[in-house]
Amino acid sequence: MSSVKNSQVEPQANKSYLPFEIISKDRVTQARAGIFQTDHGTVETPIFMPVGTHGVVKALTPAELEENGAQIILGNTYHLYLRPGLEVIQKGGGLHRLAAWSKPILTDSGGFQVFSLSHLGKISDEKIIFRSHIDGAELALSPEISMDIQNVLGADIVMAFDECTSFPCSYSEAQAALRRTHIWERRSREYFERLQPLYGHRQYLFGIIQGSIYPDLRAESVRVLTALDFSGYAIGGLAVGEPKEQMFTTLAQTAPLLPEKKPRYLMGVGKPEDILRAIALGMDMFDCVLPTRNARNGTLFTWQGRIVLKQAQYRLDFAPPDPNCSCYTCRNFSRAYLRHLFMNGDITGLRLNTVHNIHFFLELVKVARQQIVQGQYDTWLRNFLKKYPVEADHADENQLRRAERRRKHIAENDVGNN
Ligand SMILES: [Zn+2]
């Protein structure tokens, strides 16, 4: 299973479009069931993509990912560029071979992490200069560099380079970021088309709609970017600290403007209830660190709601985490045992929790897809939300502080239209 499929495609520049088909549409909501085809296999949508930040979905082997239904995983350009770096990845035969993952991979553009993690230097329309958060080395990212990195990573789906706004974001800030995003995505598109895939399989490019929470900017972004004719469209700049209902309002305004016949990806979302509500608004693809990160924090997602293992109520609870789950963890272990492992900080416990959470998220979108096909998504969603009530969550304080620092830095270092 570790071998990378070598397609019979003649080496050629990145000019083809991702084949995507809508199989079924819900009658009440905007939900769609679809399928897309890559050289590493097909992906049935709606789909959740486990996040492999450093080229591994933390705590899981590729065999465990496959067993639990993963069809496509995500890798982070910024992290992989810094460590292990492009030389190791290219000499290792690309990310698929290096990580022994034979199914599709999507990589992000690096833009979000460079703004949120690195120490930013000079920012211009040409490029971003930054210092690595690991060793302080001075590096640059631009649309062309991002496309080159993702070419070396060998992702099946490559994301255009954008400027992701944080929250809160004033109208004029969002407008300035959007102007630059459009320049960068156009350059991403033009440069990507001239690149040759390195490992014998095709690569496809998605654009990213920005515009913060402003409907006219979102609409403008859709107009500009759909004219560039990408293989699919992501909605970025949401789930960055804005109130939950603000996110859904923006999503409800933006999703219907996107081309019907291309896959739609909501970046960085999220919680089970948010994924399902976004599916109802017509979104097809999702990624989030939530199932893996929360597994390591001792939180399990089940069809009955969340389980927080450190709570004393599970000390003598010998039921499986989820009686309706068929994963390895639920087939073999009790809540009491998983709680014991968690309280001891045991590494096997973290792996067992991760197996269950990944299984649950993939089962969630699989069942959602079946419900769409059977024409009862709306009813099913309403029942599900009884177990996962929509939380009135508040913007994360840390996120707000980071946004403030970033805004100040950009105001001081942005060299404008150079
Ligand atoms: Zn399970």
Mean pLDDT of 126-141: 93
What backbone phi and psi angles, to 5 degrees, belong to 62? -55, -35
- Please check whether residue 8 lies inside any domain of the structure: no
Kindly report, residue by residue over 301-345, the tens digit of the pLDDT: 999 999 999 999 999 999 999 999 999 999 999 999 999 999 999
Which residue in 39, 274, 287, 322 is the catalytic one? 287
- Please check whether residue 4 lies inside any domain of the structure: no
CA 71 to ligand 1 centroid distance, Å: 18
Give me Rg for the CA atoms of the chain.
Answer: 21
393 carries an active-site annotation: no
CA dist 412 and 37 (Å) reads 45
Helices (H), 20-83: 62-67, 77-82
Count helices and strands in the chain by DSSP H and E runs: 16, 17
CA 386 to ligand 1 centroid distance, Å: 20
229 carries an active-site annotation: no
Give the predicted TM-score (pTM) of the model: 0.92
Q: Are 407 and 315 part of one and the same domain? A: no
Residue 2 has pLDDT above 80, yes or no: no
Report how many domains make up the chain: 2
- Cα of 332 vs its chain's centroid, Å: 30
Q: Are 359 and 242 part of one and the same domain? A: no
Token match 């980071």: residue?
402
User: DSSP labels for 11-32?
Assistant: P--S-----EEEEEE-SSSS-E
Domain coverage including residue 182:
20-287+395-413
Calculate the average pLDDT of the chain. Answer: 92
Q: Are 275 and 302 part of one and the same domain? A: no
Kindly report, residue by residue over 75-92, the tens digit of the pLDDT: 999 999 999 999 999 999
CA 326 to ligand 1 centroid distance, Å: 6
- Please check whether residue 43 lies inside any domain of the structure: yes
Q: Are 229 and 347 part of one and the same domain? A: no
CA 276 to ligand 1 centroid distance, Å: 19
Residue 166 contacts residue 239 (beta carbons within 8 Å) = no
- Please check whether residue 313 lies inside any domain of the structure: yes
- Please check whether residue 14 lies inside any domain of the structure: no
- Please check whether residue 108 lies inside any domain of the structure: yes
pLDDT level of residue 148 (50, 70, 90 thresholds):
very high
CA dist 411 and 404 (Å) reads 11
Give the HSE-up count for residue 281: Cα atoms under 13 Å, Cβ half-sphere. 23
Q: Are 261 and 316 part of one and the same domain? A: no
CA 264 to ligand 1 centroid distance, Å: 28
- Please check whether residue 325 lies inside any domain of the structure: yes
Token match 């309280």: residue?
343
Q: Are 307 and 275 part of one and the same domain? A: no
Which residue in 26, 39, 108, 156 is the catalytic one? 108
Mean pLDDT of 350-368: 98
Residue 394 has pLDDT above 90, yes or no: no
The number of residues making up the chain comes to: 418
Residue 33 contacts residue 22 (beta carbons within 8 Å) = yes
Mean pLDDT of 252-274: 97
Which residues have C-beta within 8 Å of that of residue 250, sequence separation ≥ 6? 213, 215, 218, 238, 242
Provide the pLDDT for residue 400.
Answer: 60
CA dist 146 and 229 (Å) reads 19
Q: Are 279 and 257 part of one and the same domain? A: yes
Domain with residue 400: its CATH number is 3.20.20.105
CA 320 to ligand 1 centroid distance, Å: 8
Kindly report, residue by residue over 404-413, the tens digit of the pLDDT: 666 677 667 7
Amino acid at site 300 = L
Which residues have CB atoms below 5 A from the ion given as ligand 1? 325, 327, 329-330, 356
Q: Are 27 and 111 part of one and the same domain? A: yes
If you ran DSSP here, which 8-state letter would residue 9 be given?
A: P
Q: Are 361 and 404 part of one and the same domain? A: no
Residue 31 contacts residue 23 (beta carbons within 8 Å) = no
CA dist 341 and 305 (Å) reads 21
CA 325 to ligand 1 centroid distance, Å: 5
Residue 403 has pLDDT above 90, yes or no: no
Give the HSE-up count for residue 345: Cα atoms under 13 Å, Cβ half-sphere. 0
CA 300 to ligand 1 centroid distance, Å: 9
- Please check whether residue 6 lies inside any domain of the structure: no
Per residue, the 3-state secondary structure of 277-334, as one string, reads HHHHCCCCEEECCHHHHHHHCCEEEECCEEEECCCHHHCCCCCCCCCCCCCHHHHHCC
Residue 114 contacts residue 184 (beta carbons within 8 Å) = no
Q: Are 325 and 242 part of one and the same domain? A: no
Provide the pLDDT for residue 15.
Answer: 83
Q: Are 307 and 247 part of one and the same domain? A: no
Q: Are 211 and 65 part of one and the same domain? A: yes
CA 178 to ligand 1 centroid distance, Å: 42
- Angstrom CA distances, 154 to 38, 158, 191, 203, stand at 12, 9, 16, 7
Provide the pLDDT for residue 415.
Answer: 61
